Amino acid sequence: MQRTYTVTLDEECKGCLYNSQLKKVERSESDAAKISLFKERVRALCQDPPATYCAPLLMRDIDGVHREIFGHGIDYSAEKLMFDSAVLKMEEGLFKEIMASADPLAEGIKYAAAANYIDFAKLSDLGEGSLAVVAEAAAKTVPEGGALSLLKARLASAHTLLYVHDNCGEVVFDKILIRAINALFPHIAVTSLVRGGEIINDATRVDAEFVGLGRYAAVEDSGEAIPGTYLEELSPRARKLFESSDIIISKGLGNLETLFGEGYDVFYIFMCKCGHIARRFGLEQWQTAFVHEGR
């Protein structure tokens, strides 16, 4: 029996996914008949998805339609390379800036949250100039005090931390936060969980290797090509990480939409890119968020 998710799929999600993926396919493919069929099939999916769905599952199905029609998934390899390369150039300078700040953990969370702006499922026309938006959003971010104090207290005594990643580009900002945690709490063993296959611009093992994530965390994958953490299809190894880790940090909306309300103790870092997410958490659209959910 499928779950009905706490953070639900609404009309905004359907329209957003339909429009962003259609734009991408129109830029990437040349066969007009196949593009028309893709448009028709995706419109049907978005009009009548299962009542139990959330946005990551609908995106998984949209990508599946693309594979059926074009013979491969929707290709974001160029965008992933562009953003990972651009943020890597910033990494050392930003890490030094964060570690020199009055509160490096809070500063690292600010940038990780702001970097959730890099999302091709929501915004199909991102370019390197979007990194300026990330910097502006980080400057305005103030991590919620209660959640921040709790995380610091947990980090002081924890032995293991699971960091669930989201998109490329922002995975480098996540890496910087993990580096800060390594420096501040060297007794903690960090595991990074990436996607088990290519889906939109989400980070995979290949991307983790490209950005050097393995130097600061053990890298595992979810076993699923879904832009979220769909517990019912997680590999046994990944599921064990959720059961055994002392602390879980979840990054981005896809992970929030699939994990929130599922019974885990999680610290969520994300940006309220969608109106219904902002309303759900009592925040403004495009505001960053750092939210704790206990068991």
Which has more pLDDT, 211 or 135? 211
Is pLDDT above 50 for 124? no
At 287 the pLDDT is: 85
Is pLDDT above 90 for 183? yes
Is pLDDT above 60 for 204? yes
Is pLDDT above 60 for 118? yes
pLDDT interval class at 275 (50, 70, 90)? confident
* 131-150 per-position pLDDT tens digit: 666 667 666 776 777 999 99
At 279 the pLDDT is: 87
At 38 the pLDDT is: 93
At 1 the pLDDT is: 43
What is the sign, positive or negative, of the torsion defined by CA atoms of 72, 121, 164, 184? positive
pLDDT above 70 as % of the chain: 88
pLDDT (mean) for 96-123: 84
* 4-18 per-position pLDDT tens digit: 555 566 677 777 777
